[in-house]
Structure 1
């Protein structure tokens, strides 16, 4: 291959990979904005942490070879949708769908596909919400719509998936049936833990809300000044009220 042709090919590959990197950078910025806004407005952050992943050229070639597709940049774009990946880890299952709704409401994002492995877990027990999202990337001479695979899961789901991946890697994907059964049982335990933690979270939020309402009832505002009603006076008011009844 002539040197100038080789350089042009290298530039095309570099530009191609940079599009996916820029897409991930842009997506991470969106997630950071959502995190900060939610923290300010609700005093709560549904996103524990995020992790991005960009497939290497070697990994892309291996995958397109397994698929039996033509080796071209266009074929790669059309056939491989997980070149750029973003994983969002949450505390609770309800947070997963809350984040998904927020992404759906962003007008510059196009949700191409949704796979709900929480409502419909994989046979091995895997749970997560997968979204294929197209995000605009503005290059120097054009705009590109780049596909990013987004996985949203709880801490328990993420821990299980990480463990399952390590076991499959260790056994070169030939995992003994006994371990497969234990992995499935562990996935069920993780799902049960998620439900239990969600219930505890809701109960704690209800307690906090009732306490806030009680505290607010003991504060009065006069000429832009706030005064807390002493507990002894509140007791007198209660006694007086009971006496009238």
Structure 2
């Protein structure tokens, strides 16, 4: 009995270490992407005097969340199968000031030589029926470990401030009602999505007008 318990404990310890190393790679992956974005952010601030990135947040799913997502998608509960079957274990969210900034940062990030773009979902150009707007990029970034480089898959979401505000409200609403949201609230969220889109367009127009404004030259009287 003691031998069985000892063997079970050893197996559990080995499994825990295996899972820790598995998730560790994703933590390193989001760190790599975050570093690249912070470099762009600082460069814009220093060179252009304007920072198109308002904020950056990162997360790696917990083991429980990974297993739940795998089961929901019918992915075999095996680390290799999960690695190839799930694309959002590691996530980065980038909040930009304006829609044009979103596309500018996406282009600069994805054009880097060590970034491999696997998939792009543009819900800004093609919003979801519920009004959700965001740009998702699934990419692979190399993580350099002691045993050599490994490609890690990371999902990066790009939004404006208005898009993020709406998405946060929508998520809280569906969580509160356990997805059984009353129709009048769904209609309200759709209306709010349209308002957020209009706000983005208006703010972008004002931004360009201010940026392009050239004050008249002052004349000094004799």
Q: SS of 1:69's equivalent?
A: coil
TM-score of the superposed pair, with normalisation by structure 2 = 0.93
> Residues 65-84 of structure 1: matches in 2 within 5 Å?
65-84=71-90
Counterpart residue number, 2:136: 130
- Between the aligned partners of 1:140 and 1:3, the Cα distance in structure 2 is 28
Aligned length: 216
- Mean Cα deviation higher: 139-148 or 42-51: 139-148
Q: Distance in 2 between matches of 1:181 and 1:147?
A: 36
**RMSD of aligned residue pairs (Cα, Å):** 1.5
Instruction: Specify every segment of 5 or more residues in structure 1 that has no aligned partner in the other structure, as ranges.
Output: 216-229, 234-245
Runs of 4 or more off by more than 4 Å in structure 1?
A: none
Alignment pair present for 1:105 and 2:94 = no
Q: Partners in 2 of 1:194 and 1:15 — Cα distance?
A: 42
Structure 1 CA distance for aligned equivalents of residues 125 and 108 of structure 2: 19
What is the distance in 2 between the residues matched to 1:142 and 1:73? Answer: 19
1:232 maps to which residue? 221
Unaligned runs of at least 5 residues, structure 2? 1-6
CA positional deviation for 1:214: 4.6
Query: Greater relative contact order (Cα 8 A, min sep 6): structure 1 or 2?
Result: 2
Q: TM-score, normalised by structure 1?
A: 0.85
Shift of 1:54: 1.0
Q: State the match for 1:92 in structure 2.
A: 98
1:179 equivalenced with 2:180 (yes/no) = no
Aligned ranges 1:1-245 → 2 under 5 Å: 2-207=8-213, 210-211=214-215, 214=217, 231-232=220-221
